[in-house]
Amino acid sequence: MTIFDELKERGLIFQTTDEEDLKKALEAGSVSFYSGYDPTADSLHLGHLVPILVCRHLQLAGHKPYPLVGGATGLIGDPSFKDTERSLQTKETVEGWVKKIQKQLSRFLDFENGDNKAEMTNNYDWFGSISFIDFLRDVGKYFTINYMMSKESVKKRIETGISYTEFAYQIMQGYDFYELNRQHGVTLQIGGSDQWGNMTAGTELLRRKADKTGHVITVPLITDATGKKFGKSEGNAVWLDADKTSPYEMYQFWLNVMDDDAVRFLKIFTFLPLDEIAEIEEKFNAARHERLAQKILAKEVVTLVHGEAAYKEALQITKQLFAGNIRALSAQELKQGLSGVPNYAVQAEDDLNIVEILVKSGISSSKRQAREDVQNGAIYINGERIQDLDYQLSDADKIDGELTVIRRGKKKYFVLTY
């Protein structure tokens, strides 16, 4: 199976410019390619992972990646399918985000070994020194207003208003392709399906300005079985930065994907061979309640993004929390596993009697309710049931001197911090 056929089989290809010509190029020898990432935040998120994985597949097949972090385009803002214009960031902020994203990308591609080792690029390197007049004369003249207005990303914004800044974004992305071709012989661009208009602006500029052919592969917008945009967890993006989305949170995200999505996501988000995934699918369908596909998916993606040690820690947290073994976990592990639960910072003047602290922290609605909760055996301190109304919290109840975990009933967790 060719690399193109495998990418297609995995569901990683949505559109291409000339499929047969591209397949021939990929089979003829090493192709230099790029994928761009604008620093619109200090971390990439799950939505960026799909084109990154395509880049890794291509590199493993012998092709050479030139990942681009848009130090220049990040200062402008891409209008593609956005309802309103992005807030502009300072140059210093964008520069900081560029460095963080470059570091993240270095985890997925090989920058050290072989003739096809990855080379990092930043479009501020060429846009930072080009004058506005030169850009209009040497690049702008190749784009007609009619051509630029025909892009779906522009059409959708015309009704609500689009600034010239964002209108010109497609020319900037097109020029990236031209410059990478001129400097490094790049002939293929990888990107999201929402980038089709910007990416074909690059093939158009290559054709008109350099009389060369460029190729484009777009990856599909990943949705779950209900059609909901994938990569959001309770309204928040799933980030690739462990400080923004912990390995445990990411593990839980994958562990909880719907049955109808699990095998498809194994093809998209892991590097497991397709025949191995077929075997997993057979076992999974025979006993879906065991969630085999989700467990393997969570293991593979968390290991890929954060490393094996982080996966093992996430698995340990999951097992111990499920069993209620709070004391088996460190404060740091508990902060990961219980990051989304209600939290109360204990004050020096607080009465640490169990009834008083249940009310003060909002765990129980009243003293009467708190007394009933304790007497009925519904309150657990660090996994141990407390039924003594005179119980006083002490240093012995502090895990690593930092926090105490209170559980009310079977599943409602609360954290006291000191």
The alpha carbon dihedral of 243, 244, 249, 250 has a sign of negative
Q: What residues have CB less than 8 Å from 183, skipping those under 6 apart?
A: none
pLDDT for the residue numbered 168: 87
Annotated binding site for ATP: 232
**Cα separation, 220 vs 51, whole angstroms:** 9
Measured CA to CA in angstroms, residue 247 lies from 61, 142, 290, 412 at distances of 29, 47, 22, 22
Residues 31 and 171: beta-carbon distance below 8 Å: no
Domains and their CATH numbers in the chain: 3-219 (3.40.50.620), 232-323 (1.10.240.10), 343-417 (3.10.290.10)
Q: What is the pLDDT of residues 163-203, one digit of tens each?
A: 888 888 899 999 999 999 999 999 999 999 989 999 999 99
Element (H, E) at 348: none
pLDDT for the residue numbered 235: 61
* Lowest-confidence segment of 223-227, 239-243, 314-318, 356-360 by average pLDDT: 223-227
Average pLDDT score, the chain: 93
Whether the pLDDT of residue 410 is over 90: the answer is: no
Q: What residues have CB less than 8 Å from 404, skipping those under 6 apart?
A: 381, 382, 393, 397, 398, 415, 416, 418
Residues 44 and 37: beta-carbon distance below 8 Å: yes
pLDDT for the residue numbered 84: 63
Annotated binding site: 34, 169, 173, 232
Q: If you average pLDDT over residues 69-83, what whole number do you get?
A: 79
pLDDT for the residue numbered 153: 74
Q: If you average pLDDT over residues 17-27, what whole number do you get?
A: 95
Going by C-alpha positions, the residue among 412, 139, 38 that lies closest to residue 51 is 38
Residue 411 confidence class, pLDDT cut points 50, 70, 90: confident
Q: What angle (nearest 5°) sits at the alpha carbon of residue 17, between those of residues 185 and 159? A: 110
Q: What is the DSSP string of 172-210?
A: HHHHHHHHHHHHH---EEEEEGGGHHHHHHHHHHHHHHH
Structure tokens at 25: 């190029």
Q: What is the DSSP string of 241-302?
A: STTTS-HHHHHHHHHTS-HHHHHHHHHHH----HHHHHHHHHHHHH-GGG-HHHHHHHHHHH
Residues 217 and 22: beta-carbon distance below 8 Å: yes
Q: What share of the chain is helix, strand, coil (3-state, %, to 5)?
A: 50, 15, 35
**Cα separation, 389 vs 356, whole angstroms:** 10
Residue 156 confidence class, pLDDT cut points 50, 70, 90: confident
- φ, ψ (nearest 5 deg) of residue 33: -140, 165
Annotated binding site for L-tyrosine: 34, 169, 173
Whether the pLDDT of residue 233 is over 60: the answer is: no
Q: What is the pLDDT of residues 79-130, one digit of tens each?
A: 665 666 667 888 899 999 999 999 999 999 999 999 999 999 999 999 999 9
Whether the pLDDT of residue 269 is over 70: the answer is: yes
Burial 53-84, CB ≥16 within 10 A → b, else e: bbbbbbbebebbbbbbbbbbbbbbbbbbebee
Q: If you average pLDDT over residues 371-379, what whole number do you get?
A: 96
* Lowest-confidence segment of 221-230, 282-291, 329-338, 396-405 by average pLDDT: 221-230
pLDDT for the residue numbered 262: 97
Most confident of 69-73, 226-230, 273-277: 273-277
